[in-house]
Amino acid sequence: MENNNIAVIGSGSWGIALAFRLWKNGADVTIWARSRNSAEKLRDNREDKDKLPGVILDGSIKITDNMETALKDKDMIVLTVPSTAVREVCQKMKPYLASEDERHQIIVNCSKGIESETLMLMSDVILDELPGSDVAVLSGPSHAEEVGKNLPTSIVVSAFSKETAKMVQNAFMADTFRVYTSPDMLGIEIGAALKNVIALAAGVCDGLGFGDNAKAALITRGIAEMSRLGAAMGGDYETFSGLSGIGDLVVTCASMHSRNRKAGILIGQGKTVEEATKEVNMVVEGVNSAAAALALARKFEVEMPIVEQVNEVLFNHKSAGDAVGDLMCREKKDENDLQGW
């Protein structure tokens, strides 16, 4: 399979950026948009001037709101919808995919999150709705604003087989888009989901007027929490020192492209969660994943104080200042429980 006929499901900024990347690599690309209005607007303008200005889609990239048209004869399907929409979109895809026994398309999940009702990662949600699918996940430090401008980055892809991972690697690899492979799909997805929660906390630090020291400490202790939970769930510690762990966490905590950081800044400045998400005007995945992350921490009996305090601020009306105070005044501990004297 050459994987040259590709559907990008989702016409948001990430979908547009990846469609642009795949088209640059010579793929025949079709973008699926949720509504007819969105499809027509993108088809007419060849650009989303609100979410991704300056990224112009070539006229050969097809844009449709018809799922059957989008999926017809596709080798690869790239899911870029928000995590809260993955299950619904998979249900819409199902009638137009080959039967389970004949299914050959690779489904590449680029959505980052945890389903709040089931605590499933996105690959599990896809397989729950589309059993037998050849699922891969793509993650790493890759803001759409920079990918769409052809600025360099490196990301990582995982799948159940090395063969599938290499097919996805070949489809996306470019001189400005370096793709590594990894066998640890679970660890990559945990990192992808939890970094959004930590990025909210990083934004809160900025909103409160804290400095670089606080940001560095938060990122460091955040990766410790992510690693503990990921390992408890069956992931590899090493994954969290890689592109989908520390790499994605750093870029999401530091960049003003990050909608999670933007929302956190507004919350740190005293705005409510509702006010912050409305002002960001894009899906803030960290808000969607925070409660699920805490539920997973309790299920696997993993200590995650930053995630706990983020939940207190988001859902229990705790002030951001009080949350920081409680984190700083926790009982004294060793930095690493695995090290002995």
Output the CA angle 128-230-283, nearest 5 degrees. Answer: 60
Tell me which residue of 188, 181, 178, 186 sits closest to 165, measured CA to CA: 181
First and final C-alpha spacing in the chain: 54
Alpha carbon distance 226, 297 (integer Å): 10
Tell me which residue of 215, 216, 236, 214 sits closest to 226, measured CA to CA: 236
- Which listed residue (195, 262, 278, 332) is catalytic? 195
List helix spans (H) across the chain: 13-24, 36-45, 67-71, 86-93, 122-129, 144-147, 162-172, 185-207, 212-233, 248-254, 259-268, 273-280, 285-299, 305-315, 320-328
**Taking the mean position of all CA atoms in its chain, how far away is CA 218?**
20
Which strand (E) or helix (H) includes residue 8?
strand 5-9
* Tokens describing residue 27: 């793929």
The DSSP letter of residue 269 is T
Phi-psi group of 157: left, alpha or beta (phi > 0 → left; psi -120 to 50 → alpha; rest → beta): beta
User: What is the DSSP code string of 87-143?
Assistant: HHHHHHHGGGSPPTTT---EEEE----B-TTT--BHHHHHHHHSTT-EEEEEESS--
Q: 92 an active-site residue?
A: no
Alpha carbon distance 186, 183 (integer Å): 9
Tell me which residue of 40, 32, 24 sits closest to 7, measured CA to CA: 32
Output the CA angle 277-118-125, nearest 5 degrees. Answer: 90
Residues marked active site are found at 195
